[in-house]
Structure 1
Amino acid sequence: MSHIIRPWARKDLKAVVGLIRELASFHKALDQVKTTPEMLGDDGFGKDATFGCLVAEVPPQQGSKGGGTIVGYQFHYMTYCTWDGHILFGEDLYVVPDFRGKGIGSSLLAKAAQMALAKGCSQIRFVSANWNQPAVDFYTKLGAMNVTIQNNWNLCSIEGEHVQKLAERARK
């Protein structure tokens, strides 16, 4: 399968938003998607971009059933670990089901790894649903380790009204 991995461009916004929605639907969480194409466009481009996105593109004759040529994406941003320094955090990695098993996901992560090294990162971090065994197996094959199990770390999140309540405490 012929494909290229490249940084996304504004022309890819509609396709990437569609893939984000596909991924959310796969996780049975489509109703939780709050980002809009406008938000992603505003935050993902320019010198003050808060995230980056790589896309996997195939030639038009190899496109998806719907005719799309963007068949996968890897969404990432820089973060920092007080113990290790710069880290690339991979928010999403998604490949359209009909294109899985063709090396596209590995190519997306390989390009992300190249970027991480160029930016002085010591590691790539990401989350994976514990019920998605094919994804867990894919990441493990590439050298990932489950730090929840190995290092006893838990990923925590404060959301919605709890963020509001916490912020109000600071005003007092």
Structure 2
Amino acid sequence: VLEEDGFNCEHPYFHCFVAEPSSKDGGDAIVPDNGGELSDTGACGGSKEREGDNLNGNTLLGYALYFYTYSTWKGKALYLEDLYVTPGCRGQGLGSALFNRVAKRAFESHCCRLDFSVLNWNPAQDFYKAKGAINITEEEGWHHYRLDREALVKLALEVNKADITNE
């Protein structure tokens, strides 16, 4: 799904920054600024293969996957879907470099904000707070909801049924 939705299409649904070693011997990590797309590098990792993932001969150390969204109150926004750093690379500034790169992209794209969700057990909450993030669940009372595929099918069928009875 990642390749289909982000790399092998004319208008990708998401963009990605990838961190990889700066040399084949595993030197310092780099986060190349390649416009945020990886069509020349391949998929940026999914749930099945993360640590040490190999991208055309390059080892994946971490990634940040994001997409643009819109607030009717504020305007264009950026949503960070995933920020992942392999366990062996944590605590070395790689997550910070990826996060800062996404924030820079949001700024350069004239976004009003950068949104993301964090699980309540995730110790990275302190990292985000140190970067200036505000917990809007506490501050503004926002709660995120989701319709899964089954609920989408049910609602789509209701629309189809209503369309048929209105004909």
Counterpart CA distance in 2 for 1:78 and 1:66 is 26
Does the residue aligned with 1:60 lie in a helix, a strand or coil?
Answer: coil
- Larger-gyration structure (1/2): 2
Aligned position for 1:57: 20
Q: Deviations over 1:33-79 (max 9, x none)?
A: xxxxxx21122125411100110111322277788621000000000
What secondary structure, in the 3-state scheme, does the structure 1 residue paired with 2:134 have? coil
Q: Which runs of 5+ in 1 are unaligned?
A: 1-38
Q: Tell me the residue number matched to 1:77.
A: 67
CA distance in 1, matches of 2:146, 2:139: 20
User: How is 1:59-138 mapped onto 2 (pairs within 5 angstroms)?
Assistant: 59-62=23-26, 69-132=59-122, 134-138=123-127
TM-score for the superposition, normalised by structure 2: 0.74
Q: Are residues 66 and 126 of structure 1, via their aligned partners in 2, closer, same or farther at CA, if it must alter by over 3 Å?
A: closer
TM-superposed CA distance for 1:114, in Å, is: 1.3
2:143 paired residue number: 154
Report if the CA contact (8 A) 2:53-2:60 is conserved: no
Q: How many residues align?
A: 133
Gaps of 5+ in 2: 28-50, 163-167
Instruction: Check conservation: 2:52, 2:60, Cα contact below 8 A.
Output: no
TM-score (norm 1): 0.72
- What is the match of residue 21 of structure 1? none
CA RMSD of aligned residues (A): 1.8
CA distance in 1 between partners of 2:126 and 2:95 (Å): 13
